[in-house]
Amino acid sequence: MSRSRFSLTKSSGGSNPSSSAGKDQKDGSASLAQQISESDLFKDATIIAPDELLWTDSNGQVGAYKAKTDSDGEFKSNDRGSKIRSEETGSWRVFQGGKQTGQYRGDWKPKEQPTLWDRLTKKEEVK
């Protein structure tokens, strides 16, 4: 049986960030991505989702990065009202059957089969 990949990201174009479906809930419960991977509908799928905001630019996906915040924890915005990206990467979390099976640095470009180079340079320990 072949496995399929389902990426929980939404590119809105421009530099606006979207989706952090791989981030655990504030109450400590499972992320949306993990919950979806537990469902019968996606039991044979690999779910890949960022744990921070997904940032894009005119060339496409930049990666999963934290947004800049002020001392009160409020998001910093540019003159157009868009959040400002920090240089601190998040992670891409990989789920299968309700369990996290992998994790890659936020600047990784998700793919169904990570390359050897991806595994050597982008793979992180599962937190």
pLDDT, one tens digit per residue, over 23-32 is 888 888 899 9
Q: Can you give the pLDDT at residue 17?
A: 53
Residue 127 is predicted with a pLDDT of 76
Which tops the pLDDT comparison, 103 or 7?
A: 103
Of the pLDDT bands very low, low, confident and very high (cuts 50, 70, 90), residue 10 is very low
Output the pLDDT for position 6. 47
β-strand partners of 104: 92, 123
Put the strands of the sheet holding 60-67 in their side by side order: 53-57, 60-67, 85-89
| Residue 34 reports pLDDT greater than 90 | yes
Domain ranges of the chain: 4-121
CA distances from 100 to 24, 42, 49, 51, 69 (A): 12, 14, 11, 12, 28
Calculate mean pLDDT across residues 17-41. Answer: 86
- Mean pLDDT taken over the chain: 85
Reply yes or no on whether the pLDDT at 125 is more than 90. yes
Residue 66 has pLDDT above 80, yes or no: yes
- C-beta separation of 64 from 104 below 8 A: no
| Dihedral class, residue 3 (left if φ above 0, else alpha if ψ from -120 to 50, else beta) | beta
The pTM of the full predicted model, rounded to 2 decimals, is 0.78
pLDDT for the residue 58:
84
